[in-house]
Every structure is written in C-alpha cells, then in structure tokens.
Amino acid sequence: MWRESRDRGHGGNRIGSQIIRTLIDRREAPAQAVLPEELRSAYGGDLWFPPPGPERPYVIGNFVSTVDGVVSYEIAGQSGGGDISGFDPSDRFIMGLLRASADAVMMGSGTLHETAPGHLFVAGRAYPEARDLYARYRSEILRKKTPPLHVVVSGSGRMDLTRAVFRTPGIRTLIVTTKAGGDLLADSGAASLVSTEVRQLEGPIIAPAAILELLRAEFDVSLLLHEGGPTLFGKFLADGCVDELFLTIASQVAGRNAPPPRPGFIAGVGFTPETAPWLDLVSVKQQGNHLYVRYSTAHGKKTVLGVLPNRR
C-alpha cells in the first residue's frame, strides 16, 4: 500500500494512492536529516525529538480521536483505535514510525487486553507495508538493535500471561505493578516467562515519575512512546510527565449518551482553568479527511528545537 513519492517539502508525499501534506511545521529542520529518504518522503518531512533529561525519558503519547473527542466506542469487538480512525493507513503508518523511533512502548493492562492476543507493539505490526523501511531506520540510523521494550502497567497484576507480548522470543517485556499485583503475578507463574520481568513499585497507586525513573536508570530508555489508555495517560499528563502528544483526528462524530462512558484521551483526572495544561502546536499534517496533529507540552517553558535523537 505504501510507496515512495519523489515530491519534496510541503507539496505532498504519498502513502498508497493518498497524499499526506504538511500544513504547518513550526520546528526548524535539523542540519542533518534524521529519517531516511523513503520515510521522510512518506511522512511529509523529518521527525526528531529533543534528548531526554538526566532523570527520565522524553515521553510522547499517541492517540486517535473523533472530532468530538472520543477515543473508544467501548463496544465489545469495536473498542480499538482502528474503529475510530476507520483503519486509516496514514494513522497506522505514523503509529509504526513512532514505534520504530522509541526505546520503549507503554500501555496499561486494559489497553493491552483490547488488542488481539497475538499483537506485538512493534512498528511492523502497525503498518506491515513499511516493515523493512522501519527496520533499517531503527537499526542503521538510530542504532537500536532490538525491538522496543514493552512496558505494561497494572496496579492489580490481573492480566492474561498467555498473550504473545509475554511469550515472544526477542520481545522484552516489563510489567510494572504494586506489591499486591506482584504477588498475584507470582502466583500466576510470571517468573517462568523468560523474556518478561516484573517490577514492583511502592504505594497502592503507581506514580508516573517512579516508572520513568526506573525506565531511565535501569533500562536505558531515552524515548518512551505512551499508547494509553486514557486513565494511565491522564495520570502522566497530570503529573507533568508527558512531553509531546501525537493526535490523529478522524472526521467522524461518535457521541455520548449511555454507559459505559466513551472516553477522550484523558480520563480519571480533571483540571480547572487554572491548572489545565496548555499545549504548543508543533505540526499539522493532512491526508483526505484526517488531520495528524503534533503538540508539545512545553507551554511557558523553553522549547528545545532541532535536536537530533540520541545515537548509541
């Protein structure tokens, strides 16, 4: 479905027969391109991130939403992001590109169990048509020789350990949980999973800052991709632990009128006008009726622009 276009700049770059256009890009391009030509052409420009701080990774979130802010229909079998995006190929391409860029991909246990049992949170699963391009970019440009660490956050420890994410050779998975959750996982046989590690953090509620400190100090994570769900992502945003948001806006309206509630990309926290986070617009891209928006949470802070990703 994806193929290279020879177009450059804002003029238009192709995924399938569609055109991704960069409508707004407020960051200066780095002196040296980060993405290889094929991916840069497909994305409609380059992609790079500031380096992490000394204590935690640089954190980016990725969601797809309807025009009225719904990220899940909360209907059995139709609760995923694909039902919101209409299985839009450009949305899947960008998801794959972000996964290819990240050192780790995080999700809550609820989000994990909304995916197919065999799903892995790697670039090629999001957009198989660009699997080889993602792999070369990750290994040859970013010098990342292994797939991203999969990080599953669950306070309760209740999860299906037969899923592929816990049992696939070559995929390293970290379960972050509480003391009670760790006890349940131990009783469920988590210690027998060769590529899965369980870490317990203090308190009945897992603090986002503690997770990020663990990932930076012990797992060498510089760039973390957060794929939700809304409650976990809400905690991260409320605690000032999100640096950027990639948001696909699909041109449909879902509405809300009955339980279970249909969430936005933030749930479980509420802000006042005095505390509500403001976002800086970084870029806007468009294909068909979809918009692909990138925000920074650096409102009121010094924004770091044009910094190449860490190379190991």
pLDDT, tens digit, for every residue of 33-57?
Answer: 999 999 999 999 999 999 998 999 9
Strands (E), the chain: 13-15, 18-25, 58-66, 104-108, 149-153, 173-177, 196-200, 223-226, 244-250, 280-287, 290-296
pLDDT digits (tens, 9 = 90+) for 19-38: 789 999 999 888 899 999 99
Give the closest residue to 199 by CA, choosing from 227, 179, 217, 228: 179
Read off the pLDDT of each residue in 285-294 and give the average, rounded to a whole number. 97
Give the closest residue to 269 by CA, choosing from 240, 295, 299, 231: 231
Q: How confident is the model at residue 258 (pLDDT cuts 50, 70, 90)?
A: confident
pLDDT score recorded for residue 228: 94
Joined together, the tokens standing for residue 97 give 């590109």
The H-assigned helical ranges of the chain are 37-43, 81-85, 89-101, 109-113, 123-126, 131-136, 179-187, 208-219, 230-238
Do 249 and 293 form a contact (C-beta atoms < 8 A)?
A: yes
Measured in degrees and rounded to the nearest 5, phi and psi for residue 81 equal -65, -25
User: Above 80 in pLDDT, residue 15?
Assistant: no
User: Above 60 in pLDDT, residue 303?
Assistant: no
Q: Which residue has the higher pLDDT, 306 or 100?
A: 100
* Distance separating alpha carbons of residues 92 and 82, to the nearest angstrom: 9
Q: Which one of 3.20.20.70, 3.40.430.10, 3.40.50.2300, 3.40.50.300 gives the CATH number of domain 60-269+287-296?
A: 3.40.430.10
pLDDT score recorded for residue 302: 39
pLDDT score recorded for residue 87: 96
Joined together, the tokens standing for residue 31 give 């002196």
Q: Which residue has the higher pLDDT, 26 or 309?
A: 26
Calculate the CA 155 to chain-centre distance: 20
Do 59 and 295 form a contact (C-beta atoms < 8 A)?
A: no
Q: How confident is the model at residue 13 (pLDDT cuts 50, 70, 90)?
A: low
Read off the pLDDT of each residue in 260-264 and give the average, rounded to a whole number. 92
pLDDT digits (tens, 9 = 90+) for 204-228: 889 999 999 999 999 999 999 999 9
pLDDT digits (tens, 9 = 90+) for 163-183: 999 999 999 999 999 999 999
Residues 6 or more apart from 91 whose CB is under 8 A from it? 64, 81, 85, 248, 250, 290, 292
User: Above 80 in pLDDT, residue 9?
Assistant: no
Give the closest residue to 70 by CA, choosing from 28, 78, 18: 78
Q: pTM above the 0.95 mark?
A: no
Read off the pLDDT of each residue in 108-131 and give the average, rounded to a whole number. 95
> Domain residues of the chain, as ranges?
60-269+287-296
Q: How confident is the model at residue 18 (pLDDT cuts 50, 70, 90)?
A: low
Mean pLDDT of the chain: 90
